[in-house]
Amino acid sequence: DADVTQTPRNRITKTGKRIMLECSQTKGHDRMYWYRQDPGLGLQLIYYSFDVKDINKGEISDGYSVSRQAQAKFSLSLESAIPNQTALYFCATSDHRDRGTDTQYFGPGTRLTVL
Amino acid sequence: EDQVTQSPEALRLQEGESSSLNCSYTVSGLRGLFWYRQDPGKGPEFLFTLYSAGEEKEKERLKATLTKKESFLHITAPKPEDSATYLCAVQGESNFNKFYFGSGTKLNVKP
C-alpha cells in the first residue's frame, strides 16, 4: 500500500462549488503539506502543518483552507472553486528528525478541473 | 532572494549516452538539497537528499553531487525508462519552513 494516499484522484467541478481534497499517510510523519502544480511551473506551497495543532499559510493560500484532523490526515478545501484553480494538487509529508532536514514524500496527486 | 534554477529545460539523449542535469541555487544557509523524479501526471518520487558541499549519493544509473552553489544529477548509460522530469528543491536554514523548487528538466531517452 502507498505511504501517502490522496482522494479523489480526479475531479471535475463547476465554478462556485465547494471541493475537499483528502490526504492520508502511514509514514508516521508529523509534517504535512499541500502543493499545486501548473503546467511548466514549479510546485507552489499552499498550506503546511507541522503537527495537529499547527497550520500555516504557504505562498498561495488565498481561496484555500485546510484541516488537520489527525496526525495522519490533512485535507484541503476550495470554498468556492474558480477556473484558475484547475491544476494538479499534491500532498506531501516529511520527517524533521532526519538531521533537521525535511525530505518530503509526495502522494500520487489529484487532478482538479474547474469548469 | 532564495531561488533554484534548473538547466537545461529539456534534454534528449540516445540510450547509453551519459549526461548531467544542473541545479543552481541561492539560499542563506543550506539545510538540504533534494532531487525528485516525476512521471507525467504522477507525484514526485524522492531520489536523494544532499546536506553539505562535497557530498555525493548514487542510485543505480543516477549520481547526485553538491557544491556550495549547484548540484548535478549525473545519468550514466541511460535507458528509455529513465525518461521523466527531474526536479530539484532546496530547504534553507533561515527560512526552514519554505522549500524552493526548480521548474525541472524534462529528460527523454530514445532507444
Tell me if chain B has a CB within 8 Å of the CB of A30.
Answer: no
**Average pLDDT estimate for A33-61:** 92
pLDDT, residue B28, reads 84
Hey, what's the cell of B69? 552553489
Residue-level pLDDT, tens digit, chain B, 111 residues: 778 999 999 999 999 999 999 999 998 889 999 999 999 989 999 999 999 999 999 999 999 999 999 999 999 999 999 999 999 999 988 777 788 999 999 999 999
| Residue-level pLDDT at A4 | 96
Q: A109 at the B interface (CB within 8 A)?
A: yes
pLDDT exceeds 80 at position A97: no
Determine the Cα angle at A29 with ends A52 and A63, to 5°: 50
The residues facing A24 across adjacent strands are A5, A73
Does the beta-carbon distance from A106 to B32 stay under 8 Å?
Answer: no
Q: Kindly state whether B45 is in contact with chain A, defined as any CB-CB distance less than 8 angstroms.
A: yes
Left (φ > 0), alpha (ψ -120 to 50) or beta: where does A28 sit? left
Residue type, A19: I
The DSSP 8-state label assigned to residue B88 in this structure reads: E
Using only the alpha carbons of chain B, give its radius of gyration.
14
pLDDT tens-digit readout, A66-80: 999 999 999 999 999
A100 — pLDDT class (breaks 50, 70, 90):
confident
Q: Which residues contact A114 (CB under 8 A, 6 or more apart)?
A: A13, A14, A15, A78, A81, A82, A83, A84, A85, A86
Q: What is the mean pLDDT of chain A?
A: 93
Q: Are B99 and B2 in contact (CB under 8 A)?
A: no
| A37 has a pLDDT exceeding 70 | yes
Task: Give B36's contacts in chain A (Cβ within 8 Å).
Answer: 106
A103 and B104 in contact by Cβ < 8 A? no
> Of B34, B43, B104, which is closest to A107 when you measure between CB atoms?
B43
Q: Cell numbers of A64, please? A: 484555500
Of B86, B42, B81, B40, the C-alpha closest to B64 is B86
Closest residue in B to A56 (Cα–Cα): B97
Using an 8 Å Cβ cutoff, are B105 and B57 in contact?
Answer: no
Asked if the C-beta of A101 comes within 8 angstroms of chain B's C-beta atoms, the answer is: yes
Residue A62 CA to its chain's centroid (Å): 14
